[in-house]
Every structure is written in C-alpha cells, then in structure tokens.
Amino acid sequence: MLSFHNVEQYKENQTVFDLVLMSIVSTYVGQPLHIHVEGVRGTGKTTIMRTAKHILPKITRIKGCVYNCDPSAPHCPEHKGMTPEEIKELGVEETTMPFLEISHSSKTGTVVGSIDLEKLTDSMYPEARLLPGIVPQAHRGIIFIDEINRLADTSPEITDVLLDVMGNKPGHLQIEEAGLPVVDLPVSLSVWAASNPDEAPGALEWVRRQLSDRFDMVCSIGRPSSVEVLSRILKKNSFYYKSRHKSKVKIDDANYGILTKKITKWGRAYKTAELTDYLRNYISQLYVNYKFESLRAAEAIEQAVLLYSIIKGHDRVLTSDINQIIPMILKHRIGENALNELIRKMEGKDSNSAEGI
C-alpha cells in the first residue's frame, strides 16, 4: 500500500505537500484550513491527499462518540451539557483524526445525517434516533472531495451544506428529520478538494463564487519536468518493484511516528504564534489596496503565513514566506492582472526579513 512517505516529491508537486501539512497542523489545533489542488489528470494530486490519512495525529474524544466529542467541550446531542464528572465516568479514548470522503453520488442524508433505521425497526426496543452523516463524523478532522469543480452542478444540495460547514470556523450544520427534533451542531473540520481545471465547468474560480471563496488556499500541481524524477516514479510504480519491495510500500511506522510528532510539535508552536502589528497592518493594506472581495482572504493570509513559517522551521515570518503563500490565497479571489502586479512588487523585496515589505 502506498503511503505518504513513499510518494515522490519534486518541484512541481512540493506545494501540495506543504498545504497538506499546514492543514493537518491547523486542523489538529482546532482551526480549519480549507485547501484545493488543481491539476490535469494523472499528476498525483488525489494520491497525495488520500495518502495523507496515514500521517494524521491522534485526537482524544469521549469514548465511543461517533461525533468525536472533545471531552473538554462536548457538542453532540448525546454529550452536550454533561459535567466533567459524567464524562469521566463514560471514559475517554484516543483515535486517529478522521479522514472521510464525499463522492458525487452521495445523498444529502449520507452527508448530513438521517434516521437510524436499525434502531427504528428494532423488534424489542424501537427508537427514533439520529444516524450522523459524513460531516458530523468528520468533526475535528478532514473531508476530501475529488472533482469538486463539478459538485455545484451534480449535487447542488451538498454544495449548500458545504457553504454552511465552511462559512465560519467552526462551521455550522443543521440536521432535520421528520419525527425528530432539529439538531444544530457546530462542526470544525477542514475540507480538502481536488479538480481538473480543463474539465467543465473549469478552474475553481469559475465555479459558484460562494464555494470558491470558502477555500483558504488553492495551488496547482504540474507534471514532473525531470527525467530522473519520472524514472524513479516509474520504477516505484512498476509491478516488478512492488512485488519485490512490499515492505517498502507499506506504511513505515518509524516515519509515521517521526512525522506525527512533528505535527503535534508544530501544533503547539502555532497555538502560541502571533503576527507582529506591522505584518497585520501590511495584510490589511493589501486588503484595502487590492480591493479583496472577501474578508476571508485577509484572514487566510494571517493563518497561512504563520503555519508556513512553522513547518519550514523559521523562527519568524519572512518576506519569502509571504511571497510563497500569497498566490495560493489570491489566485481564485482577485483578477489575474492584479495578482501578477502584486507578485511583481513582492518579488522585488528583501527575502530575508519582513521589514522590507
């Protein structure tokens, strides 16, 4: 089985690995970071995002809670309002951060929740209970959607659900079923998505504007341009190699431990990280000068530049950090000309300090 560590990293896909790690760290500490990767067929975008499930850290939840209730802040219909003593009696457990997928064939009930038919048809003790869907079960974790550029056309009702889930941090979900009281849930999760910009309706910025704006960061993945890199990829993917190196394509427990420890360490660093007033004023100046349509763009810059500087091991935010993340945050939010002008201005600044902006 291919793992995150076995996927070949090269210049044209490095940004995807960065975004994945940034989103995992941010999700781990309770602040979603929604990311979207665009690329033509066969560039490996879906593979990278799916194999990231192998490096997700552990979270602590109330024992057996399918909503992944945080023992310190229970939110689900079963545990909301419980005292610490009651929770202690139930017990807690560690589980891997959830990673679930929404397909284009998914029904709204599957995504949101529906009546638990097994409980309802129990011959001894029939009971009308809620069966949580993919979204509430992904609380404190990640949802992945492939070919999201087609979702607004194929499943507009699921798109509406995503708008609520991604609208704020945490998001919001309302579950309504006849015969049951309305359940209103906060949901804190990151949405990861992939799409082919050359397939209808096109790049993310061309689809429903509200959905496009919900993604904090967007990046493109390209084909490998190096003969050596492609040769290594072909070798690793060959039947001959896989059949003789089965142990190498399995999840490496040692690598898993090292990277998950890094993620938790980065998470602790992010909790205490703070932008200087200078940088926050600079972001605000960008918002005003370039007339960003959405305040989410400015918020995403603040969140992402801290995360990026942390995973790159910098002890402070550098101008080069901002240069790296700005295009991924603004690509789907401002016009191409305005973005190119901004990038040209930023590339002329000192790459070793933020004071040169």
Q: 244 vs 315, which has greater pLDDT? A: 315
**84: in domain:** no
Instruction: Find out whether 54 and 3 touch, Cβ atoms under 8 Å.
Output: yes
Domain membership of residue 241 (yes or no) is no
Q: State the residue for tokens 């600079």.
A: 282
Number of domains in the chain: 2
Residues 45 and 158 in one domain: yes
Is the pLDDT assigned to residue 280 strictly greater than 70? yes
Residue 210, pLDDT score? 82
pLDDT for 96 beyond 90: yes
Same domain, 148 and 9: yes
| pLDDT of 254 | 60
Lowest mean pLDDT among 83-92, 93-102, 143-152: 143-152
User: Of the ranges 175-179, 207-211, 309-313, which one carries the lowest mean pLDDT score?
Assistant: 175-179
Most confident listed range (118-132, 194-208, 228-242): 228-242
Residue 255 lies in a domain: no
Residue 86: band (very low, low, confident or very high) from pLDDT cuts 50, 70, 90: very high
Closest C-alpha to 47, from 194, 229, 190, 191: 194
Residue 355 scores a pLDDT above 60: no
295 lies in the same domain as 217: no
Per-residue pLDDT, 122: 44
Amino acid letter, residue 315:
D
Q: Are residues 134 and 219 in the same domain?
A: yes
Q: Is the pLDDT of residue 115 over 70?
A: no
CATH code of the domain covering residue 206 = 3.40.50.300
Chosen domain end from 170, 198, 227: 227
Instruction: State the average pLDDT over residues 51-58.
Output: 93
Report yes or no on 212 lying in a domain: yes
Residue 88 lies in a domain: no
Average pLDDT, the chain: 85
CATH number at residue 323: 1.10.8.80
Same domain (yes/no): 323, 181: no
Which comes out higher in pLDDT, residue 205 or 142? 142
**123 and 200 in a common domain:** yes
Mark whether 24 and 130 lie in a shared domain: yes
pLDDT over 50 at 293, yes or no:
yes
Which residue, 12, 51, 9, is CA-closest to 220?
12
Q: Find out whether the peptide bond into 32 is cis, omega within 30 degrees of 0.
A: no
44 and 190 fall within a common domain: yes
Would 300 be classed as within a structural domain? yes
* pLDDT at 304 (0 to 100): 97
168 with 276, same domain? no
Position 141 in a domain:
yes
Q: State yes or no: pLDDT of 249 exceeds 80.
A: no
Whether 17 and 138 share a structural domain: yes
Antiparallel, parallel or unpaired: β 113-115 and 130-132: antiparallel
pLDDT top residue among 105 and 271: 271
More confident residue, 337 or 52: 52
Q: What band does 120 get if pLDDT is binned at 50, 70 and 90? A: very low
What pLDDT score does 349 carry?
59
Percentages (nearest 5) of helix, strand, coil residues in the chain = 50, 15, 35
Indicate if 206 and 309 belong to the same structural domain.
Answer: no
pLDDT of 171 above 80: yes
What's the pLDDT score for residue 60? 97
| Residues 213 and 344 placed together within one structural domain of the fold | no
CB atoms within 10 A of CB 59: 19
The domain boundary, picked from 175, 199, 227, lies at 227
Residue-level length of the chain: 357
Could you tell me the pTM of the whole model? 0.88
Q: Tell whether 81 is covered by a domain.
A: no
Q: Which of 159, 192, 227 is the last residue of a domain?
A: 227
Range(s) of the domain holding residue 333: 271-356
Residue 115: CB atoms within 10 A of its CB come to 16
Taking alpha carbons only, the member of 355, 216, 218 closest to residue 298 is 216
